Amino acid sequence: MSGTADQPSVEVDGRRLRLSNLDKVLYPADGFTKAQVIDYYHRISPVAVPHLADRPLTVVRFPNGVGESSFFTKNAPSHRPDWTTVATLPSPGSTKDRSTIDYLVAGDRATLVWLANLASLELHTPMWRISTGHPDLGGAALDPGPPARAVDCAKVALLLREVLPGPLCVKTSGSKGLQVYGRVTDGRTSMEVRADMRAVATQLQRDHPDLVVANMRKDLRGGRVLLDWSQNNPAKTTVSVYSLRGRQRPTVSTPVTWEEIRDCRRPEDLVFTAADVLRRVDQHGDLFAPLLGGPPGADGEARAGESDGSA
């Protein structure tokens, strides 16, 4: 490490980075500092980067910590290092009257460390890839309407597992809900995947009206789990797997096994911090690897008799 005392310089995979304010506490409830955020993203990068690569990135920055104001950033900042990857993509309906946006692509560890130094706690990506313009993922976010809880989301996740083809992977949102993902390999457009997931959500609402709601109206969510099919819209993003969240504690959107979903009895059973996730990756590897088309991970494989189809 070199540089000045208040702005040390580090080398990450051959890239020289200047860091700042390492002692700044970004999660006051846990005393979790920017240095710890940077360390987390550096250490988690081997499993996080494959899920971020080839996707336009939106970040949520918390420059003064999670107790202060935050802001979404889509356009890559002008002060970015010259080695970062940028994808210029159309921006229809932009609120800032831009025809295109220069998106960052977090395809390497150095970019993650640089973003972490900007207090970019949350990383959000769409279901589609830049190289194809088509979705390779499809899924649903499960959002509990109080007094429903994560335990109820787990019940809905198991219902989805019964009706969607595998391999399916499930993760926590890092907040109150869950997200279930499958692969899309048949060339459908994002809006076709969205329509198919909406049909699944509507059917589950009919079959389980006391548990599932497919309508987006907030006044209908009380005591039930919203099965949010709209996340498949190409204009939308969801929090990426392994991303920190800007909540009170440094919780992470964490891959979990289906056994953990079946055994969930308390919301706390599905809450994991950065330190927890690093230990889990050492134990389980990348539970979301099946979504990359690689070999299935522990309990991430398709069930007997299921095809490697699409969500």
Q: What is the pLDDT of residues 11-44, one digit of tens each?
A: 999 999 999 999 999 999 999 999 999 999 999 9
Taking the C-alpha atoms of residue 245 and residue 240, their distance in angstroms, rounded to an integer, is: 10
Q: Are 267 and 176 in contact (CB under 8 A)?
A: yes
Taking the C-alpha atoms of residue 226 and residue 248, their distance in angstroms, rounded to an integer, is: 23
Taking the C-alpha atoms of residue 97 and residue 258, their distance in angstroms, rounded to an integer, is: 44
pLDDT digits (tens, 9 = 90+) for 249-273: 999 999 999 999 999 999 999 999 9
Q: Are 88 and 101 in contact (CB under 8 A)?
A: yes
Tell me: pLDDT of 300 over 50.
no
**Alpha helix ranges (H) inside the chain:** 34-52, 109-117, 150-163, 190-207, 258-263, 274-284
Q: Which of 287, 236, 200, 53 is nearest to 127 (CA)?
A: 236
Q: pLDDT at position 261, please?
A: 98
Q: pLDDT at position 94, please?
A: 53
pLDDT digits (tens, 9 = 90+) for 180-223: 999 999 999 999 999 999 999 999 999 999 999 999 888 888 99
pLDDT digits (tens, 9 = 90+) for 46-79: 999 999 999 999 999 999 999 999 999 999 999 9
Taking the C-alpha atoms of residue 270 and residue 171, their distance in angstroms, rounded to an integer, is: 9
Q: What is the pTM of this model?
A: 0.90
Q: Which residues contact 124 (CB under 8 A, 6 or more apart)?
A: 57, 58, 59, 60, 237, 238, 239, 240, 243
User: What single DSSP character describes residue 57?
Assistant: B
Q: Which of 289, 278, 244, 283 is nearest to 43 (CA)?
A: 278
Would you place residue 4 in the very low, low, confident or very high pLDDT band (cuts 50, 70, 90)?
low
Q: pLDDT at position 92, please?
A: 56
Give the chain's mean pLDDT: 91
Top pLDDT among 126 and 9 is at: 126
Tell me: pLDDT of 303 over 50.
no
Would you place residue 138 in the very low, low, confident or very high pLDDT band (cuts 50, 70, 90)?
very high
pLDDT digits (tens, 9 = 90+) for 70-129: 999 999 999 999 999 999 999 755 555 678 999 999 999 999 999 999 999 999 999 999
Would you place residue 229 in the very low, low, confident or very high pLDDT band (cuts 50, 70, 90)?
very high
